[in-house]
Structure 1
Amino acid sequence: MSISNNNYYPVAVTQLTIEVLHLSLVVGQVSNRLLLRIGPLASEQMLYTVANRIWDENTYKICTWLKIKVHHVLLHIQGTLTCSYLSHSEQLVFQSYEYVDCRGNTSKPHLLVPRPP
């Protein structure tokens, strides 16, 4: 995830909470307390991993049947980033969608860009 601080004062990221959903069911969660300082007018990268397991029978068929040429599963990612600045704490909510190639058990990472005020 790429985080940009467009302010003229430093911002500290204190917590990241993420849920991964498939077909409206939560299939993975992660919550990390961390301290990442982002200087004024700067950007930082934050890497995260969410382990998940999908037990849906139809998804299993999509991933394993040889007749099906596309083996992508759509995951909904929603999260909260807690930031602190000037003795104030704020939660920033973000969401995104990720296609996972379940046949190869891989996905291409992409950047989510929540922006502190």
Structure 2
Amino acid sequence: MVSLGHGCSPQEDQDVLVGQSKDKRRQSKWREYGSISDPAGDTCPTCQGIGRIPRGQETQLVAVIPCSDQRLKPRHTKLYVTISVAVCLLTCALILFFLFPRSMTLSPVINKSVMVFFTPSTVEMKVTNVLNITNENFVSVQAHDMDLQALIWDTVVGKIKISNVTTVRPRSQKSITVEVPISIEDVGLNGYCKSSSYRIHTLFLHLQMSMKVFYLGHSEQLSIDTFQYIDCGTNSTVPHLT
């Protein structure tokens, strides 16, 4: 009998047998499952041949991926962590810089005027002072509850209280004008201010001031003492720096 086709050598026959044996071992190790379009093979135990995971089993199934998968080896991890830490530190530093409480200053500027009025038993005066409130913070400051009292030789001759003073904008300075009524009832001082035999009627006035400021969720009290010379014998005093 004569067969048509190419002849095979013994070595080629051995290679074919080896290849078939490997395919059989591979088929025995890995079972091929059928699909919806091609139902040949066994049914997939996960999706039962429907091509999707049944509802309610998402938390019960575990996905297995090879160790060589790039998702297990994220790139630039150290760089991302460093950038995140640097951004957090910078944000915290900026917040502390802008919200850190800074000093508030209450300072006298000038004795603007002194108006004098004589009554039969007293000397009445209205002392007008200009004060500066300096805000070094990056937020607005509310000034309130200002108490001011005037003393002459340790004797209180005038008091004033202001509930709502003003609002100072961030990083700015604001001037306020305060008028203090003074009444001198002492007989000796009355005679001194009303006497025409004295050419100079100067009094040493001591002003004690305190004020509360509210900013950044907390309250702070500012206090200052200032000393002024006033003329109680005329109806005005020339402004001068304190």
Cross-structure match for 1:53: 183
Instruction: Look up the equivalent residue of 1:102 and give its one-letter code.
Output: C
Q: How do 1:35-46 and structure 2 match up within 5 A?
A: 35-46=165-176
The counterpart of 2:223, out of the listed 85, 93, 102, is 93
- Report the alpha carbon displacement of residue 32 of structure 1 after superposing the two structures with TM: 0.8
Instruction: Look up the equivalent residue of 1:56 and give its one-letter code.
Output: D
TM-score normalised to structure 2 length: 0.43
Instruction: Look up the equivalent residue of 2:228 and give its one-letter code.
Output: E
The CA RMSD over aligned residues, in Å, is 1.9
Mapped partners of 1:100, 1:71: distance in 2 = 8
Mapped partners of 1:61, 1:102: distance in 2 = 11
TM-score normalised to structure 1 length: 0.84
| Maintained 8 Å contact 1:99/1:107 | no
The counterpart of 2:145, out of the listed 6, 11, 15, is 15
Instruction: Look up the equivalent residue of 2:136 and give its one-letter code.
Output: N
- Report the alpha carbon displacement of residue 80 of structure 1 after superposing the two structures with TM: 0.5
Greater RCO structure (CA 8 Å; 6+ sep): 1
| Greater Cα offset, 20-29 or 65-74 | 65-74
1:37-87, Cα deviation, whole Å (9 max, x unpaired): 111110111111111111122222321222222111111100111100101
Cross-structure match for 2:198: 68
Instruction: Look up the equivalent residue of 1:5 and give its one-letter code.
Output: N
Instruction: Look up the equivalent residue of 2:217 and give its one-letter code.
Output: S
Instruction: Look up the equivalent residue of 1:94 and give its one-letter code.
Output: I
Aligned length: 112
Higher strand share: 1
- Structure 2: give runs of 5+ residues left out of the alignment: 1-130
